[in-house]
Chains A and B, each alone.
Chain A
Amino acid sequence: MRRPSSSSTLFTLAVGLVLAPVALAQTPGPSPAFQATDTNGDGRIDRAEYHNRLMDAFFLLDQDKDGYLTAQELPHVAAKAFRAADSDSDLKLSAIEYMNERFKEFSAADKNRDGILSHVEVEVYDGFGRR
């Protein structure tokens, strides 16, 4: 079984701590976050929907709106996880670097490898996938 990388895991954990966590695993149906991401309402999250959500997140996290995320803008992300995402080692994350890191999580959560996330896959990943 494919498991998320340790850096990806740390990155997700750290970012998730910043952001009002929701008990996804206890939600009987798709969570509000899932529904918000599933913009076409088909009950699944495809890569385009995930990309859109991440781009919105990137923009909102980028406090000075310079187009990059620094460690200061991600204060709860572990240094190791930040360095792992910072592929060009310029001490800041471009949108592409941020996306690349976050899409590792998409792939890790997509257990049946169909390129689409069900709410169950999301809940399993958030609840158990990072153990």
Chain B
Amino acid sequence: MPERRDVRWFRARGRHGALAAVLLMLAGCASPGGGPGGGTAIGGLGGAAAGGLLGAALGGKGAGIAAGTIIGGLVGAGAGSLLDTNSQRVRNQTVQRSLESAPAGTASSWTNPDSGSSGSVTPVRTFQNAQGAYCREFQQTVTIGGREERSYCTACRQPDGSWKIVG
């Protein structure tokens, strides 16, 4: 049985750090060691919110993301070298959906059964930049050939509703 395309690519690169390196270089994301937020608290609302002091959000949010509207630059062209087209599409849709509607701390998973690759996206902190645009730090995992790579990214919401990596 021939190897899956993602696995072949990964083996060809030969080194475990290749995925992370490309993601960091082209997506502007930080390695886990660097961490998000430059030492600020990573935080936020995980899962469904409760009422009272700690409640204040959610309750039915989550719809309203047009599938496939992600801008190509979201996770960088480098990911295109690592994932087949279908995996990229699934991953990008998941990133867009997660950033648009998932509470901090809630992981959104994706998988492409055809290639065997999978991953997850978890917002960890939300803030507004100097221009007032929403930005979210998020953790991303990508698993190819049984190996998982993790990175931290920051994306800001664009006027057209897409999310763009900023650092």
Contacts and interface: CB of A to CB of B under 8 A. Distances in A.
Contact of A33 (B55, B104, B127): B55
Contacts of A125: 52-53
Contacts of B46: 32, 35-37
Given A39-B41, A48-B43, A59-B126, A54 B56 contact: yes
Interface in B49-80: 49-59, 61
Given A24-B52, A55-B127, A60-B103, A18 B59 contact: yes
Given A39-B42, A39-B44, A55-B44, A109 B55 contact: no
Interface residues of A, number: 46
B132 interface: yes
A38 to B, nearest CB: 8
Contacts, number: 148
A56 B51 contact: no
- Grouping DSSP codes into helix (H, G, I), strand (E, B) and loop, the A interface class, with mixed when no group exceeds half, is helix
Interface residues of B, number: 36
A57 interface: yes
A60 B57 contact: yes
Interface of B: 40-59, 61, 101, 103-105, 123, 125-128, 132-134, 136, 157, 161
Interface of A: 12, 15-22, 24, 31-37, 39-40, 45-46, 48-49, 52-63, 65, 67, 95, 102, 105-106, 109, 117, 122, 125-126
